Structure 1
């Protein structure tokens, strides 16, 4: 097993059975309430009572799973109470475990950083760029976060530009999450930190792939390697490299698109607003709209310079960014297709290549 995904469940909300009722009371009545009190007490009074029992059990559980699959890389996903479990569990890992975490994606949970021990804070900060803590600011549940930045937070704080759902349960269950052109609508203040963390995460994964392939090269070359083995290594290295570059390109495009979309939204309607303001100037009260437009043009202000030209430029930048992303995807597809055609042209090579690939995937 080379990769595992760990899921931490949110608070139970089930009154259809005795088990569901007891689970709901335990989660909401004891764990959530005590953790909320601990977070606020630590944050505002400086009295740290530590994490609740469930979070400590979650930490033990994560280690048990990682011990069961000692060669596996780990991705973690969690929501609400599960987010608190995940935060404390990650903070409780020693370095040997932290090195195996590829990414953690936490949604709509309170910030547990204030109740962590100094050692736990030190540990979890080591992988801050690999933990993404998503928060809808219209959700009532995620408490304890700073007004700006990710200081004093487990991971990188990613605030969402959300829409109001009118229902706190729906709001808490991702109902307010908004997307622009298929991309999560992240608040402008968090965009830079979010994308820098994503790029650093992808770069690390690229380096891990490189190290893994280098190790295979050394192992095989020590005893001499066949044409099939050499082709397999070269192709795997190329695929790993281009896949990671595609990831970096996608992240970069997200940043560029968000910048362009924000700029366009700010510029759109600016000319109409300027005309409206100009018409209220005392000297312009008796001028027609055409005369006001002419007067503004003499000062260098036209719809083209104020709005159209800027929007066109931003749209052009946006289109180029999307094209770059598409080019990277096409490159990856071309490499994969080239490998396929190469092996199909030689039936014997194809069989050996398939066997060699299967052997490596079982290691």
Structure 2
């Protein structure tokens, strides 16, 4: 069954590309409770192309390695593949890994960056981009029934953008999603045909960009890019390395990255789609095990669908609610500042008047503490309270559905076991 993740999960998955995994090892990430681990799958292939510098991992959702050399029968049983494209080896590692640094920077990063910056010298397609495209195509061919999920960071993001744009229509139908972080905009490196594919896959590719990160070159107003641009509402780390390695990312309490209205809408749509797809897969598993769905299975699926849709709606409007909160809080602060400044000006001008005389003079002109400070603050506080109540209602509804689902699974161990093994 396909699984849904929040942004913290996805970034933790992407970070695995920088670890040295071996074939047969299981990749896991922290679960939400912090007490257990979520399994991403088994490393079934390690790509370490010394000629092009490409480094990637092919991970299958199996209990054992299913390599590209396994029998077709075994490979056909793989239903999910995660592809991790590794980013550049740090230039500070040139003594330890000189070949990787040379391949990444001299043969890939710099030529591509020059093309993206200047749009001169013709379309530069480096060996690593071509190699990455071949890796994705091979994986789609090796695991013919598997949905593919792509994660990449930095140079890996650029290679993934190119690789995804280089597949054909049939292959594209098996891309479940792509989550690309902090890479240059590779759109200018694509052919017209590749640009068409990039557009066709737009709804499945999420291109996360922190504009405080100098590596994210080539993006901007009126510029095309691969996938949906998720502009990060980041904090300034005052450190280029930390900024580049997700250090400035901020999250809401659901683990979703803080972004703009378009970003929230795109991620909400994706999260809801993933969850509903997962429920559809689960429904098929239920049907296989016993024909018609049992009442318990129907109740679970209905509740889980309601949860997915409610969470999707809340996330869609989250940006607007956040912005309104900021606006109301700012208006409350402004009312205090305005009254304080009004009194200051009155004291400066009316030096010969007493405080009560100054207040009377202001009141005669309609400038009272009530009109400038008290009433506006009360008005915005009322709006803020109403907005907070709306958020609370959504949170309570979501928590109630979660509680009902947990209670059902606790009381129906057979159903819980079915879901756990799906």
- With the length of structure 1 as denominator, give the TM-score of the two structures: 0.78
1:94-143 CA distance string (max 9 Å, x none): 22332333332222111111111111121122232332222222211110
Change in Cα spacing, 1:322 to 1:23, as seen in structure 2 (3 Å) is: farther
Alignment of 1:260-279 (within 5 A): 260-275=324-339, 277-278=341-342
Partners in 2 of 1:157 and 1:292 — Cα distance? 55
Instruction: Please name the residue that 2:401 is paired with.
Output: 331
Asked if 1:134 is matched to 2:208, the reply is yes
Change in Cα spacing, 1:332 to 1:80, as seen in structure 2 (3 Å) is: same
Asked if 1:81 is matched to 2:158, the reply is no
Alignment of 1:66-215 (within 5 A): 66-147=140-221, 152-179=224-251, 184-186=257-259, 191-205=260-274, 208-209=277-278, 212=281
1:203-226 CA distance string (max 9 Å, x none): 433553565467568878xxx836
Instruction: Please name the residue that 2:116 is paired with.
Output: 39
Partners in 1 of 2:273 and 2:93 — Cα distance? 46
More displaced, 81-90 or 284-293?
284-293
Instruction: Please name the residue that 1:9 is paired with.
Output: 86
Partners in 1 of 2:133 and 2:303 — Cα distance? 35
Secondary structure at 1:163 match in 2: coil
1:170-204 CA distance string (max 9 Å, x none): 22222233456665332xxxx22112212332443
Partners in 1 of 2:328 and 2:144 — Cα distance? 49
Asked if 1:301 is matched to 2:371, the reply is yes
Paired residues, number? 338
Change in Cα spacing, 1:339 to 1:139, as seen in structure 2 (3 Å) is: closer
Partners in 1 of 2:189 and 2:288 — Cα distance? 46
Partners in 1 of 2:219 and 2:274 — Cα distance? 29
Alignment of 1:207-286 (within 5 A): 208-209=277-278, 212=281, 225=291, 230-231=294-295, 233-235=297-299, 237-238=301-302, 240-252=304-316, 254-275=318-339, 277-278=341-342, 285-286=349-350
More displaced, 300-309 or 95-104?
300-309
Aligned-residue offset at 1:39: 1.4
Secondary structure at 1:28 match in 2: helix
Partners in 2 of 1:145 and 1:274 — Cα distance? 40
Asked if 1:51 is matched to 2:125, the reply is yes
Q: Unpaired runs of 5+ in structure 2? A: 1-77
Aligned-residue offset at 1:296: 4.7
1:19-69 CA distance string (max 9 Å, x none): 612101211222100110121233xx5x64143221121122122223333
More displaced, 277-286 or 305-314?
277-286
Contact map agreement 1:267 1:311 (CA 8 A) in 2: no
Partners in 2 of 1:358 and 1:338 — Cα distance? 14
Partners in 2 of 1:297 and 1:217 — Cα distance? 69
Asked if 1:321 is matched to 2:391, the reply is yes
1:123-167 CA distance string (max 9 Å, x none): 12223233222222221111000137xx50112222223333332
Contact map agreement 2:162 2:186 (CA 8 A) in 1: yes
Change in Cα spacing, 1:66 to 1:237, as seen in structure 2 (3 Å) is: farther
Partners in 2 of 1:166 and 1:115 — Cα distance? 31
Contact map agreement 2:303 2:401 (CA 8 A) in 1: no
Partners in 1 of 2:154 and 2:114 — Cα distance? 16
Name the structure where helix makes up a greater proportion of residues: 1
Aligned-residue offset at 1:78: 1.4
- With the length of structure 2 as denominator, give the TM-score of the two structures: 0.68
Partners in 2 of 1:248 and 1:317 — Cα distance? 18
Change in Cα spacing, 1:278 to 1:260, as seen in structure 2 (3 Å) is: same
CA RMSD of aligned residues (A): 3.5
Change in Cα spacing, 1:213 to 1:169, as seen in structure 2 (3 Å) is: closer
Contact map agreement 1:78 1:106 (CA 8 A) in 2: yes
Contact map agreement 1:7 1:76 (CA 8 A) in 2: yes
